[in-house]
Structure 1
Amino acid sequence: MDPQKLTDLYSQLGETSAEDVVCRAIEELAVRLTHCERLWRQNDVENLRKSARSLIAISEQIGMIAMASIAQDVTNAIDSDDAPAVAATLFRLIRVGESSLTAVWEQHDLTV
């Protein structure tokens, strides 16, 4: 986590708007993580790449640097046509993503 990203977001948008952005980002990340796993199981590499790329931007927006980095690793593995690396990095992304989302959720005591 990059706490400065969240601090900047709250400074720029104010508490209410920033909370809304963070909540929507967390929801979207959770949906896309699940979608990535489904695409991998369907062997839909083209759409998996698109979904992983979208995770990068959303993660960076709320300071989830590790998640963004791993999503980039998934994209790089796809670009290298390295199926074992895609599987390994994707499941690392899912593990890190789930724990990161939980941490942000708990840190901000968010409710949907």
Structure 2
Amino acid sequence: MTFDEAVRFDPRRLADLYRTMGEIGAENVLCDTMEELTIQLVRIEKLGRRARLQEVREIAERIAPRAEQIGLAGLAGAARAVADCVRLGDRTGAVATMARLSRMGDKSLSAIWDPQGMML
């Protein structure tokens, strides 16, 4: 089975960031956030394989607002879904949403540098 989800991107979030912080400030936030998201997504995958779901939930709850801050609405939604499944004790749902989060993370972080692949 192959899953192919379009990256959901809210360009207004990024525009707001540039408007309020200026070009250099916004680019610093964007780069820092993307680096943090990359690291945390890898951590979620590793923790998920070891069934450390409460730690997965904590990370997912932290990365959702960061993803949203730079306009990655789909990634933020996937992270919230992971946290919700873990909080509800839905292990099957948690595994499925972690896989979705991983796919969305890969696509979102790549697509933010190439906006042609994004669904606006």
Question: How far apart, in 2, do the equivalents of 1:96 and 1:46 lie?
Answer: 21
Name 2:11's counterpart in structure 1.
3
Question: How far apart, in 1, do the equivalents of 2:101 and 2:41 lie?
Answer: 8
**1:42-53 paired onto structure 2 within 5 Å:** 42-53=50-61
Cα displacement (A) at 1:105: 2.6
Question: How far apart, in 1, do the equivalents of 2:41 and 2:104 lie?
Answer: 10
What runs of 5+ residues in structure 2 fail to find an aligned partner? 1-8, 116-120
Name 1:16's counterpart in structure 2.
24
Match of 2:77 among 69, 73, 76: 69
Q: Which moved more, 1:7-16 or 1:98-107?
A: 98-107
Higher helix share: 1
What runs of 5+ residues in structure 1 fail to find an aligned partner? 108-112
Question: How far apart, in 2, do the equivalents of 1:41 and 1:103 lie?
Answer: 26
- The normalised TM-score by structure 1 is 0.92
Cα displacement (A) at 1:86: 0.5
Q: 2:106 is aligned with what amino acid?
A: E
Runs of at least 4 residues off by over 6 Å? none
Name 2:103's counterpart in structure 1.
95
Q: Aligned residues, how many?
A: 107
Matched, 1:34 2:42: yes
| Identical aligned residues as a percent | 36
Cα displacement (A) at 1:82: 1.1
1:4-62, Cα deviation, whole Å (9 max, x unpaired): 00001001011011001000000100100000011111111111110110111111110
- The normalised TM-score by structure 2 is 0.86
Relative contact order higher in (CA < 8 Å, ≥ 6 apart): 2
